[in-house]
Structure 1
Amino acid sequence: MSNELQDFERWLIENGLSENSIDRYMVVARSFIEWHNKLMKNSDFDPLNVSGRDLNDWKKYLLEEATYQRGNQEPKRYSISSVNNYLKSIRTFFQYFCDEGIIKNNPALKVKTQKIAADFDQDPRWLERSERNKLLRIVDDENSAVKNRWKFTRNRAIVYVQLYAGLRVSEVVDLEPEDISFETGYLFVRDGKGGKARRIEINKDLRKALAEWLAERGDPDTKKLFTSSRGGKKLSKRGIEYLYDTLSEKTGIDDLTTHVPRHTLGHDLIETGYSLQRVADILGHTNINYTRVYTKSSSQERREALESLSSIR
């Protein structure tokens, strides 16, 4: 890691950012440095050589050329929302250089985020009922338990804790056995998004899955609830992403990411008739407008509604 990145990471830690936020900022910083070094045909990154024009060119590159790839899936273009998140992160990177007195002004402030029209690129991906049933058939398949019961119970508990408690992937990674109280029937998230703590009621399916995983977990080196099969270390965010990549291949469900089970819970609760406030409390939304998105119909539901008109004459 270059000196700039090491010092930036130290600065983020000193400013009290979460591990997940630090990882995101570091990914963006590395990506920009690599791109800028190619632009300048130089292997030594210097923030003094970065202009507002360079950053606007980088924005154009993210919008028109850049791709990412998950597992064996085909490379995909970044969404507008992802590009905007990259731009917000790069502002923080250059703010660090300002705070350290390396540069006088933040050139990233000259780069505007991309405006998004209402309803564009904003539909959260949740599972339709048939997809949800297909996913559960795979994670509940006892044949997998015969092959490797340890991995079977762990993977099922991960999916259940997102599908039935709505945890974000960073919250899943940070869970510890002490955060589960079978006596009171609560699961505790001690450091959620924005540093917000919350408690979530455990339903009977999640209770059973967590109890079976704890019985199989053993005594690993880490205090974290979910562990890697390699040496009993903490299971990383990438490890959970790999699990969903594998489940996507097994089920044939496209775009099955770590966000989808959480979105599915939000959508299912709204569809069942629970209030926005109750769903917001479960998901840990500080702004109820974030929860309101689950009241919308999905792209597939809208498509089915329009297709139904085809048979009307």
Structure 2
Amino acid sequence: MTFRQDRHAAPSSDYPLLGELPLARTGVDRGCERRMDDAWLPSLMHDDGTRLLLLSQGRAPVRDGALVLSGPADVPPGSQLVYLGRSAGHEIVLAVVQEAPELPGADWLGLRDVAAGLSALDAGLFVEAVAIANWHAHHTHCPRCGSPTDIVHSGWVRVCPRDASQHFPRTDPAIIVAITDDQDRLLLGANAQWGGRRYSTLAGFVEPGESLEEAVVREVGEEAGIRVASTRYAGSQPWPFPCSLMLGFTAQAESTAVVPDGEEIIDLRWFTREELGRDIVEGTIGVPSGVSISSALIEHWYGGPLPEPRHLEN
């Protein structure tokens, strides 16, 4: 038994600089007040109208550009369940399964593979599902005493049976910033993990007791050796790989004598639009693509979609 849901985007208004980002869309009412009743989730599994999103190793079933939702009878025994919310009169539950079952006409795909083409409802469900599943996978024991924790509140809280401490899903805030100079060139850096050919905007996690603006200044100083000013918030989106919230900014460099830190960032370059477009087309460098907020920041500065490498155009 499978379902197809309506693909209507949620009403939109007042977007920041980057507009609506692929992973920052939703069409579901998460129902925080409903999920606090521990009888709520079990009751949904006895309702044939409940729809379930199956997730296996971070992948979900997709057919014809939409998530495939199943009924309670299709969920394998022993699956981990989490209440996701309500949409169009249907309650939606995540079921984390060990092995992906065969679903006619469906492909099991990852969030980054399909998010840009999904409806707001589907994108929001997929992001929520991946994020909460990752939290459960990495936080199975009490950080205070090491005891295995019990899952309560429809999958949104874990409780230690030994000391009764409650543990909630975590989100790690990280800033990411598009830096320009007085000639409107864009600064991009090559991360050591990418082998030196892929260039991106600079980013880093927010430290305890630090504002977002302070994190921008500190991270740029650490990674590029320059100071920035005129910091402006540009937009945000979840990045559940495993549990980040990316907060995008633009900023103006006070100097151009950049020095990579040599550990995380091994090269830094100032690009004009012509230089960046040419290097991408010729395959000299790679840049972020798809649903990343880095790609959105770069394309906002560039003035539109980035060109494809020449070998992809042929």
Fold conserved between structures, TM > 0.5? no
Q: Which has the higher strand share?
A: 2
Q: Which has the higher helix share?
A: 1
Q: TM-score, normalised by structure 2?
A: 0.28
Q: TM-score, normalised by structure 1?
A: 0.28
